[in-house]
Amino acid sequence: MSGIDTLPPLREVIAAHGLSARKSLGQNFLLDLNLTAKIARSAGDLTGCDILEIGPGPGGLTRGLLAEGARRVVAVEKDARCLPALAEIAAAYPGRLEVLNADALDLDWAAHLRTPVKIVANLPYNVGTELLVRWLTPPVWPPLWGSLTLMFQREVADRIVARPGGKAYGRLAVLAQWRCDARVVMGLPPEAFTPPPKVSSAVVHLTALPQPRYPADPDVLQRVVAKAFNQRRKMLRAALRGLVPDIEARILAAGLRPTDRAEQVPIEGFCALARQIAAD
Ligand code: SAM
């Protein structure tokens, strides 16, 4: 027994199922169930919610989510070696854990969930940013999920919550904060994981706003922001050259200075510029 449930401790689970960590799958496991329960709690009240978990591995966070009262957990794991360990958890929580042996990048997860939905994951670092960008850019807003509680490398977490004026501020900050409240809720040292990664990690909690903070067409905003930060050291008028013929006039009409650099422009400014560009 291991504290939060009657299942064996994770070290025993890993040994019993031969789950040696594979670097190619970003496998850095959390074995402290008090810690995984704490991460689950940082997602807020889970009762009455379906949870999408990407990469359950041996199931430490999965057990935290179930013990904290999630209505159902849908866990998507690419590594088939983890399935027997996850089946033991499913048996201990009848009807509450569905395990999908799939690549999260290929899966139509919405079909498996009922609202309200929260996404909680200790993400594989190699696909974490790609998944976040997909979740932040659904075809319609508000999205199916109400919140995202995600583990990232500390440097990525800092980029998600960054404010204008610094090096960390970029496309990820604008995408995340335009339609979400985003904050870092927990920092974790490398030793919290087995095996320890080279860098520190942090949990970011994002709550979807009912509507964007400032009006803008999502596709135009994304194009403007991607181009502006692609050459972030250049002034806006140079970085955005070619986007539309009269870009300098649009920058001025948006209340920005053509000599500003992207990292000085607040989200409101990018939205004003996207509106000017979409106004044809
Ligand atoms: N959640 C577990 C924990 O906290 O201990 C494991 C986290 S580990 C950082 C990432 C997990 O994601 C691994 O179990 C790995 O096999 C899985 N994974 C990697 N790439 C994946 C993908 N594309 N789709 C689904 N799972 C993936």
Q: How far is CA 38 from CA 3, 111, 140, 185, 188, in A?
A: 13, 28, 31, 11, 12
Q: How far apart are CA 41 and CA 70, in angstroms?
A: 10
Residue 2 has pLDDT above 80, yes or no: no
pLDDT of residue 266: 98
Which residue, 45, 94, 42, 52, is CA-closest to 73?
Answer: 52
Q: How far apart are CA 68 and CA 134, in angstroms?
A: 27
Condensed to tens digits (0 to 9), the pLDDT of residues 216-265 reads 999 999 999 999 999 989 999 999 999 999 999 999 999 999 999 999 99
Does residue 26's CB lie within 6 angstroms of at least one atom of ligand 1? Answer: yes
Condensed to tens digits (0 to 9), the pLDDT of residues 8-39 reads 999 999 999 999 999 999 999 999 999 999 99
Which residue, 90, 146, 158, is CA-closest to 120?
Answer: 146
Q: How far apart are CA 134 and CA 105, in angstroms?
A: 9
Q: How far apart are CA 111 and CA 182, in angstroms?
A: 26
Residue 83 has pLDDT above 90, yes or no: yes
Q: Tokens at residue 200, please?
A: 């520190």
Residue 113 has pLDDT above 80, yes or no: yes
pLDDT of residue 1: 63
pLDDT of residue 85: 98
Domain ranges of the chain: 10-208, 218-277
Residue 3 has pLDDT above 80, yes or no: no
* 135-141 mean pLDDT: 95
30 annotated among ligand-binding-site residues: yes
Domain 10-208 is in which class? Answer: alpha beta
Q: What is the dihedral of CA 271, 277, 279, 280, to 10 degrees?
A: -170
What is the 274 CA–ligand 1 centroid distance (Å)?
36
The count of other CB atoms within 10 Å of the CB of residue 167 is 10
230 annotated among ligand-binding-site residues: no
pLDDT of residue 135: 97
Confidence class of residue 77 from pLDDT cuts 50, 70 and 90? very high
What is the 89 CA–ligand 1 centroid distance (Å)?
16
* 112-140 mean pLDDT: 95
Asked if 132 contacts 148 with a C-beta cutoff of 8 angstroms, the reply is yes
* 104-118 mean pLDDT: 95
- 218-277 fold: Helicase, Ruva Protein; domain 3 (1.10.8)
Condensed to tens digits (0 to 9), the pLDDT of residues 157-211 reads 999 999 999 999 999 999 999 999 999 999 999 999 999 999 999 999 999 999 9
User: How is residue 129 annotated by DSSP?
Assistant: H
What is the 3 CA–ligand 1 centroid distance (Å)?
23
Which residue, 101, 49, 40, is CA-closest to 70?
Answer: 49
Query: Counting atoms of ligand 1 from 1, which one is nearest the CA of 22?
Result: 16
